[in-house]
Chains A and B, each alone.
Chain A
């Protein structure tokens, strides 16, 4: 099955700095890669996603890059703010509809110091 590795487990930055979280996956058939943000005690919320036919996607301060050959994808947050502090999960999956089963990384706890 799919195996997703996520690094680092903890990331501490100063407000205004950039933050990068990296994930690798093992199944070359995976074609959908979402990123979720989970604040303490709350639901994971989809913040950005990318499909295998795209190499990069950006949404304001958040961007995701995908390298299919190397089987890794990364989340980039620029101009970090204290409210970005949360746990971020990457996931990889293949298929759609009933065959869609995502595998999550272990999560990265991002701490943004004001």
Chain B
């Protein structure tokens, strides 16, 4: 089946640090990738959608200068949390989708803790 790899799985860093999270589709070409944020016991909040080679489309309320998304190839998207602060601490999950009627598949998520 389709596999999406997300790294790192856990990050602890100091306030002010920038953190990069990678999302890779291992056995299919991901024409669209999604980045979500999930708070404990809550649903998946879509942050942005990106299509390969295009600029990401951000959801309302998500700062694009804060959360930089790069979808450079059909198998890789990155999310960089710039100058992270404690309120950015959360569980970030990516998902990838192939073309046509293919379903989206999720990565394992990254637990980000900012001290």
Binding site for B on A (CB under 8 A): 32, 34, 36, 41-46, 49, 51, 89, 96-98, 100-107, 109
Contact = CB atoms under 8 A, between A and B. Distances in A.
Interface residues of B, number: 23
Task: Rank and list the top 8 A-B pairs by shortest CB-CB distance, nearest first.
Answer: A43-B106, A106-B43, A104-B44, A98-B51, A44-B106, A43-B108, A107-B43, A104-B43
A113 B46 CA distance: 32
A98 B106 CA distance: 17
A34 to B, nearest CB: 6
Contact of B93 (A44, A100, A102, A105): A44
Interface string B96-114: 0101110111111101000
8 contacts: A32-B101, A43-B108, A46-B105, A97-B99, A98-B32, A98-B51, A100-B97, A106-B42
Contacts of A43: 4, 93, 106-109
A103 B46 CA distance: 8
B44 A97 contact: no
Contacts of A103: 46
Interface in B1-52: 4, 31-32, 41-44, 46, 49, 51
